[in-house]
Chain A
Amino acid sequence: MWFWVFVGPFAAGLGLFTYVPLLWSVYLSFFDAHNTVSPTDFVGLGNYTAILGDDAFLSSLGTFVLFTLFIVPATFALSLALALMVNRLRVAQAFFRSVFFLPTACSYVVAALIWKLSIFNGVRFGLANTVLGWFGSDQTAWLSTTDPPWYWLVIVTVRLWLQAGFYMILFLAGLQRISPRLYEAAAVDGARPGWQVFRYITFPQLRATSVAVVLLLVINAFQAFDEFYNLLSDARGYPPYARPPLVYLYYTALGKEQNLGLGSAGAVVLALIIAVATVAQARWFGLGRREE
């Protein structure tokens, strides 16, 4: 009885606001639901064949995969490097830790504003073009050219800046749990401080942290919405390239069409993809398996 006094309110809310929407989504995905949440026209798998045959949706999945391939390794490497450098500091550690963590307090909306209107502005008064101008470089229209796709640089750097500090904290916590005895043993065995120690002691000991970081990074990359929406859309609308799935679903379900059936089918497809990817990754890396 006491168990449900403690867990009940949370479980009930999670059921209502996560499980019910999921099931409702599955239900809606089999109906022609334009602008209505209680549709009557059953269309079977029609929404699924429509969405899987939709080039825009498939290209949104491609955008997500490409984005993940960029952002996951980049954030992993940067946050691990920051953690290693900060961890060894004897002075000013708190200062550097705070500076790298501070962007976490900034929203994607605010960061996108700075990136779009101040750093990577296509005109002369943008910081990037000003700095490049000192070296005699031409101005680049960062956000409005697709060839070369300079907007990737903008999108990747904004997320890198915002999230690296958070993962640095996770790595710092992991580093502090490594027993100093291991390093002493390594030194006795003649391992050189630096690369060898990192390769054979530090990195293997961070395995559990690394697995968790990769998992969180992939899930977060998959939810990319804010920076794409805020960086790339303007008064003329949103460009057709570089739409990750959530942006695509937002426009499908809540845009002019209000096609909730099609949007739900897309959400179900995405949920399945992410579930399979997560389980596969957990199996592959042995999520939750502790070091012996």
Chain B
Amino acid sequence: MTRLPRKHDAYDRYDASARVGRALRVVLLIALALLFLIPFYLLVRNGLATEQDITSPHWTFFPREVQWSNLTEVFDDPNLPMARALLNSTLIAVFTTLGTVLLASLAGYGLARIPYRHANAVFYAILGTLMVPAAVTFVPSFVLVSSLGWISTLRGLIIPTLFSAFACFIFRQYFLGFPRELEDAARVDGLGYWRTYWKVVVPNSRPVFAAVGTIVFIGAWNAFLWPLVIGQDRQAWTVQVALSTFTTAQSVNLHELFIAAAVSIVPLVVVFAAFQRYIVAGVERTGIDD
């Protein structure tokens, strides 16, 4: 929506007010962008400051002293199992992402492309689980996982979260719009569903895999309720659970907590920077909103 053709008599008035409007919009955007970035700044500021600087009654925008040693200190604190928690979070996020993308894309392709009498019924049964928010089932899911003996295990933290109806839905929508000609060519070459999927469909669908994968990775890394409920042992804590335990603790080293939190978002910012453009493209192409 850039410049529109306009009637001549009103042209000048529109043009002048449009220019003022545009300038106001940019000022507003810059102000909002600063507001959105302040929390990130505070995270890093407090993470690299001394304890006195954080709690000083005369708060300053820049810390008086930057203390890089906070960065190593947080990994040496025996009370905050940071290295272990980062490892757990990484394993969980990676395996959850791989598993979810694999299972949901296969299901989405089957639903979109393989003729089956009851395909619609299966699709609605899957879609129906979106209506019941996953978190409502946490009490019975906890019961199920505990009766399987999976409390405080990586299995318990990963496997129950692999079946995302949302991801399946997105893949189905995307595969419905996938150009049939490509698949037909593969069929003529004598490939079955399985090989058509792996050799033709997957290599041509990288953006949607990247988009769904990024969203799932972010969700898995940031998940809190499920790891809190299932990861009861310290050994099974994720980064989020470890941090949370410390925000509610009575005495806490603030600078350590902040630097730990800052460290915890680094992997996501990296993933985010690498795949961000696919999210926009993926949303447009799959029509989440149709």
Q: Chain A: residues with CB nearer than 8 A to chain B?
A: 2-7, 9-11, 13-14, 16-22, 24-25, 28, 37-38, 82, 85-90, 94, 96-119, 123-127, 130, 161, 165, 169-170, 172-174, 176-177, 180, 183-184, 186-188, 190, 192-194, 197, 202, 208-209, 211-213, 219, 222-223, 225-226, 229-230, 233-235, 246, 249-250, 253-254, 260, 263-264, 266-267, 270-271, 274-275, 278-279, 288, 290
Assess whether A24 is in contact with B143, with CB atoms less than 8 Å apart.
yes
Across-interface contacts of A101 in B (CB, < 8 A): 272, 276, 279
Q: B142: which of A14, A18, A253 is its contact (CB, 8 Å)?
A: A253
Across-interface contacts of B16 in A (CB, < 8 A): none
Counting CB contacts under 8 A, is B69 at the interface?
A: no
Nearest-neighbour CB distance to chain A for B217, whole angstroms, equals 10
Question: In the complex, A166 Cα to B141 Cα: how many Å?
Answer: 28
Interface set, chain B 246-262, CB cutoff 8 A to A: 247-250, 254, 257-258, 261
Across-interface contacts of A4 in B (CB, < 8 A): 110
Interface set, chain B 226-280, CB cutoff 8 A to A: 229, 240, 243-244, 247-250, 254, 257-258, 261, 264-265, 268-269, 271-272, 276-277, 279-280
Question: In the complex, A100 Cα to B30 Cα: how many Å?
Answer: 11
Assess whether B4 is in contact with A183, with CB atoms less than 8 Å apart.
yes
Across-interface contacts of A275 in B (CB, < 8 A): 131-132
Question: In the complex, A284 Cα to B112 Cα: how many Å?
Answer: 28
Across-interface contacts of B21 in A (CB, < 8 A): 194
Q: Which residue of B lies closest to A26 (CB)?
A: B140
Assess whether A102 is in contact with B272, with CB atoms less than 8 Å apart.
yes
Nearest-neighbour CB distance to chain B for A142, whole angstroms, equals 15
Question: In the complex, A254 Cα to B226 Cα: how many Å?
Answer: 12
Counting CB contacts under 8 A, is B144 at the interface?
A: yes
Across-interface contacts of B162 in A (CB, < 8 A): 13
Known contacts A6-B106, A233-B248; A110/B132 CB under 8 A: no
Across-interface contacts of A176 in B (CB, < 8 A): 284
Total interface residues on B, using CB and 8 Å?
102
Assess whether B143 is in contact with A37, with CB atoms less than 8 Å apart.
yes
Assess whether B43 is in contact with A10, with CB atoms less than 8 Å apart.
no
Across-interface contacts of A264 in B (CB, < 8 A): 139-140
Nearest-neighbour CB distance to chain A for B10, whole angstroms, equals 9
Assess whether A212 is in contact with B109, with CB atoms less than 8 Å apart.
no
Across-interface contacts of B131 in A (CB, < 8 A): 274-275, 278-279
The interface bits of chain B over 156-171 (1 if a CB of A lies within 8 angstroms of the residue's CB, else 0) are 0001101101001000
Q: A110: which of B129, B163, B243 is its contact (CB, 8 Å)?
A: B243
Assess whether A193 is in contact with B42, with CB atoms less than 8 Å apart.
no
A-binding segment of B72-80, B114-122, B178-186: B114-122
Known contacts A3-B116, A187-B4; A270/B136 CB under 8 A: yes
Assess whether B244 is in contact with A267, with CB atoms less than 8 Å apart.
no
Assess whether B248 is in contact with A127, with CB atoms less than 8 Å apart.
no
18 contacts between A and B (CB under 8 A): A21-B141, A22-B137, A82-B32, A98-B276, A102-B269, A106-B39, A108-B224, A109-B222, A123-B57, A173-B288, A174-B289, A184-B4, A187-B6, A225-B224, A225-B225, A226-B224, A229-B244, A250-B229
Q: Which residue of A lies closest to B249 (CB)?
A: A235
